[in-house]
Amino acid sequence: MELRGALIGCGFFAANHLHAWQDIPGARIVALCDRDPARLADYGDKFGIQSRYTDAADLFVREKLDFVDIATTAGTHRLLVEMAAQHRVPTICQKPFAPSMEDAEAMVRACEAAGIPLMVHENFRWQTPIQAVADVIRSGRIGKPFFARVSFRSAYDVFSGQPYLAEGERFIIEDLGIHILDVARFLLGDASRITARTQRVNPAIRGEDVATMLLDHASGATSVVDCSYATRLATEPFPETLVEVDGSDGSIRLGQGYQMVVTSPQGVETTDVAPALLPWATRPWHNIQESVLAIQNHWIECLRQRQEPTTSGHDNLKTFALVEAAYRSAGTGQTIDLTNG
């Protein structure tokens, strides 16, 4: 049976969702919603979707849906997720999940009470190179990981496509660090403590554009998560996340250009873990674009198998708690303990 979805929020990033939905057999976006009629018309025409709404409340009343994909910015997530829960429509919500922990927890509660699945579109861990690193860790080839560095440093102009990123009081941890912290959790497990420092180098924006974070993981491992949009490099790496993992028996280095070097008792192996360039993708975004297809495929599989998505709302509360704690640490200079509430 074909699964019928609706997409809310026809902005900058939603084009990737819509392209990816077209590539997923057995699922179809049957309706679109955006409060901006021009954007609604543009995406409706481009993707051949005739059912269009400027008011999400109308969409939920009039459409018979198997899921909804919310691709608006964080300020509207709670309202829309609670609306979906009220209509018992399984929901995907873009990151950042919410502007506050209170909102994030309320959304998880609303979906649990309605008995519907909720997945946060936290796609970075679904990138091909990140999955490749996780596969090596899982294989046991490098032994027990005791250290990781997960690093995203760039000077790419993200503000031209997403002008709101220059306007918020918070920037890099909330928008980008959230992905990188999630990757650290994905690779090394949950964190118990975090220490963070932030800087603003670009005077034209309001929030911080550099963040350096130190995490203690429950496993005993330590990680450094560092993010910058103020780093000019010989070859611009956007949007590559670089990873180093040291284990008791070896190491992994995911370097720029999507090259992964694994050193283990079996020797040294270099693998090209570059993402595919999907027909609708454009460099340098293709790594992220491929992960959109991967996470949406995962959602459909989970819906069909009645399984909890790996980045469920419940799981994402832990990534969101790291974001909140990082800002608290940067503000106070203190290490924040995540184990006591």
> Which residues contact ligand 89V by CB under 6 A?
158, 162, 175-176, 179, 239
158 contacts which partner out of ligand NAD, ligand 89V, none, CB within 5 to 8 A by kind? ligand 89V
Task: Tell me the one-letter amino acid at 286.
Answer: H
The residues pairing with 242 across neighbouring beta strands, listed in sequence order, are: 151
208 contacts which partner out of ligand 89V, ligand NAD, none, CB within 5 to 8 A by kind? none
Residue identified by tokens 């050193």 is 263
Closest CA to 167 of 202, 136, 197: 202
33 contacts which partner out of ligand NAD, ligand 89V, none, CB within 5 to 8 A by kind? ligand NAD
Order of strands across the sheet with 27-33?
Answer: 51-53, 27-33, 3-8, 67-70, 91-94, 118-121
Q: Please state the closest distance from residue 13 (CB atom) to ligand NAD, in A.
A: 4
Q: What token pair was written down for 321?
A: 């708690």
Q: What sign results for the dihedral spanned by CA atoms 151, 95, 188, 211?
A: positive
176 contacts which partner out of ligand NAD, ligand 89V, none, CB within 5 to 8 A by kind? ligand 89V
Closest CA to 136 of 239, 240, 261, 258: 261
34 contacts which partner out of ligand 89V, ligand NAD, none, CB within 5 to 8 A by kind? ligand NAD
How many residues appear in the chain?
A: 341
Residue with Cβ nearer ligand NAD (250 or 320): 320
Q: Please state the closest distance from residue 163 (CB atom) to ligand NAD, in A.
A: 8
Q: What sign results for the dihedral spanned by CA atoms 158, 163, 165, 167?
A: positive
Q: What token pair was written down for 126?
A: 């679904």
Is the separation of the CB atoms in 114 and 82 below 8 Å? Answer: no
If 0-12 CB within 10 Å is exposed, 13-18 middle and 19+ buried, where does residue 155 land? middle
10 contacts which partner out of ligand NAD, ligand 89V, none, CB within 5 to 8 A by kind? ligand NAD
Residue with Cβ nearer ligand NAD (8 or 81): 8
Q: How many CB atoms lie within 10 A of CB 332?
A: 10
Residue with Cβ nearer ligand NAD (94 or 222): 94
Q: Please state the closest distance from residue 176 (CB atom) to ligand 89V, in A.
A: 4
Q: What sign results for the dihedral spanned by CA atoms 171, 174, 179, 185?
A: positive
Rounded-to-integer distance, Cα 142 and Cα 245, Å: 9
Residue with Cβ nearer ligand 89V (183 or 336): 183
Residue with Cβ nearer ligand 89V (222 or 289): 289
Residue with Cβ nearer ligand 89V (201 or 218): 201
Rounded-to-integer distance, Cα 167 and Cα 206, Å: 6
Q: Please state the closest distance from residue 60 (CB atom) to ligand NAD, in A.
A: 11
Q: Please state the closest distance from residue 168 (CB atom) to ligand 89V, in A.
A: 12
Q: Please state the closest distance from residue 179 (CB atom) to ligand 89V, in A.
A: 6
239 contacts which partner out of ligand NAD, ligand 89V, none, CB within 5 to 8 A by kind? ligand 89V
Rounded-to-integer distance, Cα 188 and Cα 220, Å: 9
Rounded-to-integer distance, Cα 40 and Cα 319, Å: 32
Residue with Cβ nearer ligand 89V (134 or 166): 166
Q: Please state the closest distance from residue 231 (CB atom) to ligand 89V, in A.
A: 14
Residue ranges in contact with ligand NAD by CB under 6 A = 8-14, 33-36, 39, 56, 71-74, 76, 94-96, 121, 123, 162, 175, 288
310 contacts which partner out of ligand 89V, ligand NAD, none, CB within 5 to 8 A by kind? none
Residue with Cβ nearer ligand NAD (73 or 223): 73
